[in-house]
Amino acid sequence: MLFSLWLVFDGLDGWPAGVLAALIGGGLAAWLADSEPFWWNPFRLIEFAGFFLVESFRGGIDVAWRSLHPRLPVSPRFFEHDIQIPEGQPSTLLISVISLLPGTLSAELQRDEHVLIVHTLADGGEESVQRLERRIARLFSVPEPKRETTS
């Protein structure tokens, strides 16, 4: 993945240096990692990338619409999200990507309880975060989060 980025930014001219930089960067990242690596499925990565692009676009359109609407239809609030996917790469990806969902933002992580405080601009933030968590669980082939339904 690092080598692909190198090629995008530098082209084919510097590919030997790109391979060396990717190997050093990947080795350093693995050495500094504080948890066991989770293996992701390359085909599911393509699926997740599509989900990510669509949700990012939706997020941008939603926030732009709300900010330009004459009545400014927002009802900001915070909610707690109990992270049910494993700590490490899956939960780090979840926390990072939440801010790209329509009208949501990761505000605070309560690491000892594995709970994330999320800021949302409107109703539906909880469902978006839960949908994202299920997608990330699928990407890393970890058990899908189970949510209790309240009546």
Query: pLDDT tens digits for 17-35?
Result: 877 887 887 777 767 666 6
26 and 49 part of one domain: no
Average pLDDT of the residues in 73-98: 90
125 and 58 share one domain? yes
Residue 146, in any domain of the structure: no
Work out the burial of residue 46: count CB atoms within 10 Å of its CB; fewer than 13 is exposed, 13-18 middle, 19 or more buried: exposed
- pTM, rounded to two decimals: 0.72
Domain range holding 20?
2-32
**Is residue 135 one of the residues assigned to a domain?**
yes
Q: Which amino acid is at 44?
A: R
Question: How many domains does the chain fold into?
Answer: 2
Q: Give 51: exposed, middle or buried? Use CB within 10 Å, 0-12, 13-18, 19+.
A: middle
107 in any annotated domain? yes
| 19 & 49 share domain | no
Residues 69, 124 within the same domain: yes
> Is 124 a member of any domain?
yes
Residues 50 and 90 reside in one and the same domain: yes
